[in-house]
Amino acid sequence: MLQFEEIFPTPVSNGFVYDNEILKDEIDQVIDDVKFFMIHEWGHTHLITTDFVVNNNIIAQYNLTNTKQEIDRKLKEYCEYIDFPFKKDYKIESWFSKFEKGHYAHTHSHGIADISGVYYYKTQDSAGQIFFEPPAPQFSQTKCYYSKGKSLFQSPDEGKILLFPGWLSHGVTTNVSDTPRISLSFNIFFD
């Protein structure tokens, strides 16, 4: 009998935060003060709170300690799964993204970030799904592997948190709802 082994897996964690009400309350206290803007070089895609040059850690800027603790907890679990020693002294970039009706995010990756993630603060089902592109696009070149090379879509449920390799290409489908979708994204860099 043949034995099978997935030799190049791409770990994407998909779960919910421990206590979403605590995180929502913490963000509720600051969200009205948050300044969103459009990065014009990207086109009319979505609103964001950072330019990745000066203001690149919204968690520290607004002292979101409960949110940081939850990211630490989920990051530790993720690192255990990928067999990497977790250290709390990592560098983090973090920002809010706001997707109003008609907004989307083009396919992109987060470059040299070791681990990237997103926490869904405010959303509903039709507010735009995140999708991940297969890291081996060659799957789509043959009939027998075509089904292995499809994009993976995840619904943006409030309280959900995803972690994934920073190099993994992803995007967000168009928000077709009248409700803005607000998420907190982050990049982790280990020394």
Q: Which letter does DSSP use for residue 180 in this model?
A: -
Could you tell me if 75 and 188 are in contact, meaning their C-beta atoms sit under 8 angstroms apart?
yes
* 74, 161 Cβ separation under 8 angstroms: yes
Lowest mean pLDDT among 81-90, 126-135, 140-149, 179-188: 140-149
**pLDDT score recorded for residue 145:** 84
User: What is the per-residue pLDDT for 53?
Assistant: 56
Q: What is the pLDDT of residue 7?
A: 82
Q: What is the pLDDT of residue 15?
A: 94
Q: Which tens digit of pLDDT belongs to each residue from 52-85?
A: 655 689 999 999 999 999 999 999 999 999 999 9
| CA separation for the pair 3, 81 (Å, rounded) | 23
Residue 15's closest CA among 92, 71, 89?
71
What is the Cα–Cα distance from 129 to 104, expressed in whole angstroms? Answer: 9
CA atoms within 13 A on the CB side of 24: 13
DSSP secondary structure of 151-171? -EEE---TTEEEEEETTS-EE
Beta bridge partners of 13: 163
Q: Quick one: pLDDT at residue 40?
A: 86
For range 122-149, the mean pLDDT: 86
- Kindly state the tokens that stand for 185: 């994204």
How many whole angstroms separate alpha carbon 145 and alpha carbon 31? 45
Q: Give me the helices (H) in the chain, please.
A: 20-28, 58-61, 65-81
Q: Is the pLDDT of residue 149 over 90?
A: no
Cα 152 from Cα 129, distance rounded (Å): 10
6-55 residue pLDDT tens: 888 899 999 999 999 999 999 999 999 999 999 888 888 999 997 665 56
Rounded to an integer, the average pLDDT of 88-106 is: 94
pLDDT score at 161: 97
Residue 51: the pLDDT is 62
**How high is the pLDDT of residue 55?**
64
Mean pLDDT of the chain: 92
pLDDT over threshold 60, residue 153: yes
Whole-angstrom Cα distance, residue 139 to residue 147? 8
* pLDDT for 150: 87
Residue 141 vs residue 186, higher pLDDT: 186
> What is the percentage of the chain residues whose pLDDT exceeds 70?
97
Does the pLDDT at position 141 exceed 90?
no
pTM reported for the whole predicted model = 0.93
Question: β-strand 47-48 against 115-122: which pairing, if any?
Answer: unpaired
Closest CA to 70 of 124, 21, 125: 21
